[in-house]
Chains A and B, each alone.
Chain A
Amino acid sequence: MQVRRRDDYGIAQLARDVGRAGGGALIFSLPMLMTMEMWDLGLYLDPVRLLVLVLVTLPMLVLLSRWIGIESTRNWRDDCLDAALALGISVVVCLVVLALFGVVRSGEPADALAGKIAIQMVPASIGALLARSQFAGSTGEEGESPREARESYGGELFLMGIGALFLGLNVAPTEEMMLISYQMSAWHGLGLLALSIGLMHAFVFAVGFAGGSPTSPEEPWWSPFLRLTLPGYVIALAMSLFLLWVFARFDGQEAGSIVMTAVVLAFPSALGAAAARLVL
């Protein structure tokens, strides 16, 4: 693997990396930047929950940078800088876009502004880091492929977590998540759970898309199902529970509603987790 030396990292390369990260931040966060609920959540959400969301995101960004950062990095200091750069770029992108939409105005109270940006910068910063994996290939640049990095079991699960967090973030703030869960019975919930797990397994293993985890022909179907699909679904479910808590969707709810809403959100999150293993 060719690792770019820091000394060789010139202004032109920095500008290209920053531009690429900005593009990734914009593409990945645009659906959320144009979602009304995301603007409002930043205004009324408990700041502690927002802080927890950002604090949970930070180590994930550093780990993501380790594998698919803005630039090829091989030590933790660079990974932290890479993650910080992604966050900084994301803040600028979110601020500019929300200002152009008229969502952020001059004279806005600092806490409202911080809330609106904090909630948007999480998906944007993931996009900024993923930009390298998505855009770098076309330029023929060398770098560590995430496919190489995720050879480890932990890497596989981590990438699934990133995919679940990202797609979950896209839909978790919407009222529709709650409405869907209210319209469903427990039977619907069971069916959706089975569909989520089935699709997850089919996506990666049975369909055999490029990027699917290699499994030996001698390996029984239940082996990857037990080792990867079920943990992947549990990760998607955990991410869903976390996001729903951050967005205060559990307040005043009893256990049955909480489980049902989590199963509903786990559906897109599980697809995000499965797709992350294919796409990244």
Chain B
Amino acid sequence: MAEGNRSEAGGRPAVEWVVGSVSLALVACIIAFLAYEALFGGAAPPVLGVSIDRFERMNNGSTVVEVIVRNDGDRTAAGVVAQVVTMGAAGQRIRKTIRFDYVPGHATRRGAFLFDDAGVSRADLQLSIDGFTEP
């Protein structure tokens, strides 16, 4: 390091102080963010919803229904069970579930229901959340 790049304090190169100052600013930003979350962030319980993202009939006659589970609450939900109920081509009731390990607050998770029955209709799908636990 050239002598001209050294600061007066302790003879340390100026670049060390610049890197240190930038790091201080970054850490301060994270602390400020966490402090804001701690003081003013919400603590609302999980508010869960499930919706269809994609409905597709496969070549082998089966049907794939991709769903998105969204948590609009602040707290994380664990063991979230999404359920779909529909009627098959023969009039039988079909019920399927997916379990998501965690759905954090204000976050989404994706999954898919698989139906062997080609008679499943998108309009007949009834989606719901069965329940959840605390992490």
Contacts and interface: CB of A to CB of B under 8 A. Distances in A.
Given A183-B135, A233-B27, A223 B38 contact: no
A190 B35 contact: yes
B109 interface: yes
Contacts of B30: 193, 237, 259, 263
A189 B10 CA distance: 34
B135 A179 contact: yes
Interface string A225-266: 011101101100100000000000000111111011001000
A185 interface: yes
B78 A230 contact: no
A227 B26 CA distance: 14
Contact of B26 (A186, A234, A253): A234
A153 interface: yes
Interface in A157-194: 157, 175, 178-179, 182-183, 185-187, 189-190, 193
Interface size class on chain A is 35 or more
Interface size class on chain B is 35 or more
A254 B42 CA distance: 14
Nearest to B33: A259
Contacts of B15: 153
Contact of B38 (A185, A227, A230, A263): A185
A41 interface: no
Contacts of B109: 252
B122 interface: no
B107 A186 contact: no
Contacts of A218: 10
9 contacts: A182-B104, A189-B38, A193-B27, A216-B10, A226-B20, A227-B16, A230-B24, A231-B20, A253-B107
Given A219-B10, A227-B16, 15 more contacts: A153-B13, A157-B19, A175-B101, A178-B102, A182-B135, A186-B35, A186-B38, A223-B10, A226-B24, A233-B23, A234-B23, A252-B107, A252-B109, A253-B107, A256-B106
